[in-house]
Amino acid sequence: EDKVVQSPLSLVVHEGDTVTLNCSYEVTNFRSLLWYKQEKKAPTFLFMLTSSGIEKKSGRLSSILDKKELFSILNITATQTGDSAIYLCAVGDAGNMLTFGGGTRLMVKP
């Protein structure tokens, strides 16, 4: 059975801090790893990673995948209160199915 584990479960930081969120997985026939941000209800897409060692970057957010060690990290630099959300990691397999992790709840205090 496919498994995705995120850590930490929750995190409280202050504005300006840098955070690193972790996602480890056990998936048969891995295809891709995706990160989503869920602020209120609808998760919104951040990154899709398919190759090891290639960093994807969008503003203050970046992510990288290690297919040998089966994990990914999501980095947020210079955090802002608007970054407060649940960050979801999901892994897609060859059958087009996504398995989600339990999420990391990030709170950024002013």
Partner 1 sequence: ETGVTQTPRHLVMGMTNKKSLKCEQHLGHNAMYWYKQSAKKPLELMFVYNFKEQTENNSVPSRFSPECPNSSHLFLHLHTLQPEDSALYLCASTQLIFTGGVEEKLFFGSGTQLSVL
> Which DSSP letter does residue 83 get?
G
- Least separation in angstroms between residue 62's CB and partner 1 is 18
Contact segment (CB under 8 A) with partner 1 among 13-21, 56-64, 75-83, 101-109 equals: 101-109
DSSP 110: -
Which of 28, 29, 40, 58 touches partner 1 (CB under 8 A)?
40
* Of 104, 102, 98, 103, nearest in space to 2 by CA: 98
Q: Tell me the residue type at 55.
A: E
Q: Report residue 104 as tokens.
A: 């990391």
Q: Which of 27, 63, 64, 103 binds partner 1 (CB under 8 A)?
A: 103
Which stretch, 21-29, 35-43, 55-63, 70-78, contacts partner 1 (CB under 8 A)? Answer: 35-43
